[in-house]
Structures are given as structure tokens and as C-alpha cells.
Structure 1
Amino acid sequence: MTLGRLGSRRRYDNLREIRSLDPAREADRDRIVVLTSRHDFPWDYTQGTGIAFLRDYGIPSISRLLDHTRQFEDDGVKRYDDTLIFAEESVAEGVDSPRSRAGVRRLNQIHGHYDIPNDEFRYVLATTLVGPVRWIEQFGWRQLDPNELAALSSFTTRFGTLMGIKDLPTTYAGYSDLLDDYEREHFAFDPANRRVTEATLRIARQTSPWPLKPVVRRLTIALMDEPLREALGMPRQPAWFVRLVHVSLKARARVLRFAPPRRTAFVPKPVSYPDGYSLRDVGPAKMIDELNARHRGEASADVSARESA
């Protein structure tokens, strides 16, 4: 890609920095992830992650567990916001930072309440990478650079390793193949798929700007590929409507080529925490007291260990 050829030359300032960095170095990797997900593609990354979120529901064993917990039915907006928070905690200061590791510990404590097999963890992690990348490939204002794919993949693998997930790929191609192979084998309709999807679409309506609220459900379905739509049991949308949605997003991308680069990182603002949050607030409401009690116990053990050293 020739920088500046299809838009403002300043628009590619972040890409120039990305190309000057080495994704094999931890600090450079984390910087690339911030530049890509929080500067050049914040909205696209969020939308791609949202569609990726829905892919999980095409796996009946995953959707049945989510349906059983009723987190999306009873407290869906907080459940969505907590997911954004875990992502932000891992990105803000680097995936190996104390802040990120604290977020991972909290996430692992929540997951520890459920019997989730490693292959499902691997698949869900793959969706968080492949979903945003494929969205940007289709609707982004520029294509991703190889340095970005390498950094995002390395970041994802490191995050998964900290979660204790085994046998992870190390390249984007590996994650893409993992996702496609798993879906070919496991995508299938189940009533739980539809229930969790409809609950999530209600969350999308609640959190969308008011002009989009009446159509957000149809818009989301129009962005689903056919295997996903069928696995979730969602109604087929008219071809003209699907085309209109896709054309509109691609028109947006063309316009964005002429926008100035974002100079400050985009930080999601979870609506469930208007006054800010701490990790003590994050997690299913029915687990909060137990999670915080466990945190106090671990902190006391750490203090005792340091004092005796």
C-alpha cells in the first residue's frame, strides 16, 4: 500500500509508526495493539468483537451454559460492559503489566465456577482475534499491515497463556484455521443459541444511539454470514437490506481515509459504571462477594509471604 495515495498523508501516521516497530518485542507488540485497536480502528474493533461475541453462541455447549447462567437475560448490559473492561485492562498498560495480570486473575476466578473445556477456551479466544481482523478486512478504511497481524496474534496468545489455555496458535493464520475448523465441526442450531442471541440483541438495542434502536436487531443479523445466522436461528434478511448495510459501511471507510489520525487512545466507557470502576465491581452480581473475599485472602497471603521472605 502506498501511504497517502487514497487519503490524507497524516492519516497514515500511526501506520508509519507501526511499520517502524518490531512485533516480536513485547513493548513494540503492545504499542502496535494500542495503535491498531484504540487509535486507527476503535469503532471497527469494537464492532468486530461484537460479531465475534455472537459466534460463540453458534456452539450449543457454549450457549447452553450462557443460557443456564441467565447473565445476559438478567444483567446483560453489565455482562457486556465487564467484557469490555477485561479487554481494556489487558490493553491499557500491556498484557504482562500488573494491571493486566490482575484482570486475568479476576477473569479466571469467574471462569473457575464453570467446567469449561480447553477446546472451547481456544475457540472463544480465536474469535476475539479473528472477528475484529475480518471486520477490518471487509469494512476498515485501510488493510491491516503484517506487523499488526503479528502483534495482535502474539498479544492474543500471551493473554490466553496467562489464562492457562493450552495448545494455542502463534500466528494469525493458525487462529483463523482454528476458528474455521471448529465451526465446521461444532456449529449447529440449538434453542439456547437463539435465546442467548435475542438477549444479546436486546443489550445492543439498549446500548445503541437512539436513531439505531429500532433497526439494530436487523442490522446485526444482516452482518452475519449464513452459517452463523443459521446456527443462531435468526431470520434471513432481504438481500437489498444486506447489500445496503454493506455498502454503507464501505462508504464510511472511504470517507474515513480523509480523517485526521486519532492522537489519543479511545477508551470504552461502560455504561454500567458511570462513576468509574474497579475490578472489585466486575463479575456476575451473585459472585461479587465471593470473588472479593477470595481477593482479600490472596492479598493477605501475598503480604505474609513477603514479610517472611
Structure 2
Amino acid sequence: MSTTSTPITRIRPDRYHRRDALAALDPATDHVEIYRALSGLEFPWDIQQALSLALFRTYAVPSIGRLLAATGEFTERTQKRYDDTGLILETVLANGFEHPEGRAAVRRMNQMHRSYDISDDDLRYVLCTFVVVPLRWVQRWGWRRHTEVEKVATANYYRELGRHMGIRDIPATWQEFESLLDAYETEHFGYDPGGRAVADATLDLATTFPPNDRVPAALSRTFLLALMDEPLLDALGYPFPPRPVRIAADAALRARAAVVRRMAVRTEPFSLQQSPSIRSYPDGFDVRELGTFPATCPVPHDARRAGPAA
């Protein structure tokens, strides 16, 4: 981290001043500080929504969706698994990779992954979704666009996370993350009943989150589907929403961006623990106790590797 940079949380409350302050940092060494500011101060809602949407892309890869369905975690304990995933990732970001809590969160994540038969290719793809989906969301619906420094820092942050996870051949740039994601989806997207079951459970949960819970669940579900692209909808077996619905969803998010652009700058970092969508731990949590603790892989490997269902 740069020793001469102004602390990002203490800069004056000008709408674009933080963008300029971040642009003066070095994404090679300050990527944790930059990405922490993006997630907690500049685009907290956008990045949270984008990462939630990124989950659906992973379900559309049959080897991933089938495994998640076979564990039962995302279909039977959807809220807890959603909470655990977000809180583990946020604990790493909030504390950094060298802090004891950050190390404990990475260790907990790696312990869970090692309990299952997950290919390095699938892990690398999931890492790509963390980079690419938020970048593309903000590009389209953010109150401002990312700067190049912010894009590089985002890629560098997840490169470091991937290294701590032991993932090999991680893309070197945000452009390479995009290329890998697009190529992997072209080759691997496909329908599987398990992936669809996990997607349905996640959609049902998402309709209960504010402000989605203020409208009928069917309407909220349609709005969420309207944010998905056609290859993703096809892979999950969902109908393509009518054009007017997609236009309305896009317009609603663009209108939100216009409002946020005129709001006072956020000076207190958002924490996922503050979100009403996180409900499993009202009295707090220990990151070492989050997630699952299977003694051995509970999913038959042959079943996981079977081809997509017809």
C-alpha cells in the first residue's frame, strides 16, 4: 500500500474526488485498498447485485451447477449458503490477506473446496465471474464507469485471491479475465436439472430481498430474469423475457444510477453485515465456523462428471 496516498475514507465529500484519488494509487501494490473502496464506498450496491448475478452464471456450467445441487446446500439451506459465501469473501476484503481474520477466511474457503471434486478450470472460471460480472454491471448500470486503474486493481485483487486459493494459470489482466470467461461459457454453458434447481432456489431467495420484497414475487422474479443475457437464460432453461420488460428493467437501473450520481458521497464504508439480505447471524459470526464441514466429498464423482442432461 502506498505510504503517501490520502486515506480513501477521509477524503473530502466531492462526488468525483474519490475517483481521482483512486486513480493516483498504484493498482499493482494498492489493489486491496482500491477494491475495498470500490466495494464499500463507490459501488457497494452495484457490486453486491453483480456478484449475486454472477452466481447464476456458475450454475449454468453443468459441472458446477450439478455439484452445488448434489450437496443440497444451495437448495435446502439457500439463505445460509448465500450468507456464508458473501461473509467469507467480505472478511478477506475487509481485513486483507495478511490479517489473521483474512487468512482464516481464505483457509475456511479452501477447506470447503478441498472437500469436493472441483476442477481447476471450474475454480478459475468462478474467479473470472467475480471480476467480469461487476465490471460489466458498472459499465452498464453504475452511476459512473470504472477507470482503468480500478479495472486493473479489480483484476489484481482477484488474482491475489486466486493465488491464495491455489488456482493455477490465473489471467494476468482484466481483459484476459473477460476473454477466458466468454470462451469458457461458449464451451461449457448447458442445461442441467441440478443447475436449474439451484438457480430456482436462489431466485426464490432473491425475491425476498429489499426492495424486491415490496412487489409480488412473480414480478420480482421476472425483473431479475430480465437482467440476464440470452445464453445464460438458455443454459438455465428460463424463458427470454419480453422486450418491453427488458427495456423497463434496464431503464429502472439507469434511472437509479442517475439518482445516485446526484446523491451525497458515501463516507462510511458499506458492510455486507449491515445488509438486510444477510439474515443467518443476527448476533455476529466467527468466519472459522462458516460454511460446510464434510469429512469427505459427499458427492459421487461419477455423478458430478456426467454430461448435461438431455
Q: Say yes or no: TM over 0.5.
A: yes
Q: CA deviation at 1:34?
A: 1.2
Partner SS, residue 77 of structure 2: helix
> What residue is the counterpart of 1:252 in the other structure?
256
> What residue is the counterpart of 1:275 in the other structure?
283
| TM superposition score normalised by structure 1 | 0.87
Q: CA deviation at 1:24?
A: 1.3
> What residue is the counterpart of 1:115 in the other structure?
117
Conservation of the 8 A alpha-carbon contact between 1:95 and 1:155: no
> What residue is the counterpart of 1:47 in the other structure?
49
The correspondence of residues 1-309 of structure 1 with structure 2, limited to 5 A, is 10-25=14-29, 28-209=30-211, 210-212=213-215, 214=217, 215-269=219-273, 270-284=278-292, 287=293
- Specify the structure having the higher radius of gyration (Cα): 1
Q: Which amino acid aligns with 1:19?
A: A
Cα distance change, pair 212–135 in 1 and its aligned pair in 2 (3 A): farther
> What residue is the counterpart of 1:297 in the other structure?
none
How far apart, in 1, do the equivalents of 2:280 and 2:199 lie?
Answer: 20
| TM superposition score normalised by structure 2 | 0.86
Cα deviation digits, residues 270-300 of structure 1 (max 9, x gap): 211011110233013xx28x69xxxxxxxxx
Cα deviation digits, residues 147-177 of structure 1 (max 9, x gap): 1011111110000000000000121001000
Q: Which amino acid aligns with 1:96?
A: E
How far apart, in 2, do the equivalents of 1:24 and 1:280 lie?
Answer: 29
Q: CA deviation at 1:206?
A: 3.0
Q: Name the structure with the higher helix share.
A: 1
Q: Which runs of 5+ in 2 are unaligned?
A: 1-12, 297-310
Equivalent residue pairs, number: 279
Cα distance change, pair 212–50 in 1 and its aligned pair in 2 (3 A): farther
> What residue is the counterpart of 2:304 in the other structure?
none
How far apart, in 1, do the equivalents of 2:173 and 2:241 lie?
Answer: 35
How far apart, in 1, do the equivalents of 2:207 and 2:163 lie?
Answer: 34
Conservation of the 8 A alpha-carbon contact between 1:136 and 1:143: yes
> What residue is the counterpart of 1:306 in the other structure?
none
Cα distance change, pair 49–212 in 1 and its aligned pair in 2 (3 A): farther
Cα deviation digits, residues 183-204 of structure 1 (max 9, x gap): 0100111222211110111121
Conservation of the 8 A alpha-carbon contact between 2:74 and 2:81: yes
How far apart, in 2, do the equivalents of 1:145 and 1:95 lie?
Answer: 24
Cα deviation digits, residues 179-226 of structure 1 (max 9, x gap): 001001001112222111101111212334430452221111100000
Q: Which amino acid aligns with 2:37?
A: L
How far apart, in 1, do the equivalents of 2:150 and 2:267 lie?
Answer: 18
How far apart, in 2, do the equivalents of 1:200 and 1:213 lie?
Answer: 16
Partner SS, residue 10 of structure 1: coil
How far apart, in 2, do the equivalents of 1:10 and 1:264 lie?
Answer: 14
How far apart, in 2, do the equivalents of 1:140 and 1:208 lie?
Answer: 19
Conservation of the 8 A alpha-carbon contact between 2:86 and 2:272: yes
Amino-acid identity (%): 41
Q: Which amino acid aligns with 1:282?
A: L
Farther off after superposition, 51-60 or 89-98: 89-98
How far apart, in 1, do the equivalents of 2:182 and 2:69 lie?
Answer: 24
Partner SS, residue 81 of structure 2: helix
Q: Which runs of 4+ in 1 moved over 6 A?
A: none
Conservation of the 8 A alpha-carbon contact between 1:229 and 1:235: yes
Conservation of the 8 A alpha-carbon contact between 1:13 and 1:261: no
Cα deviation digits, residues 71-113 of structure 1 (max 9, x gap): 1121100000011111111110223333222101001111111
Conservation of the 8 A alpha-carbon contact between 2:125 and 2:180: yes
Q: Which amino acid aligns with 2:258?
A: R
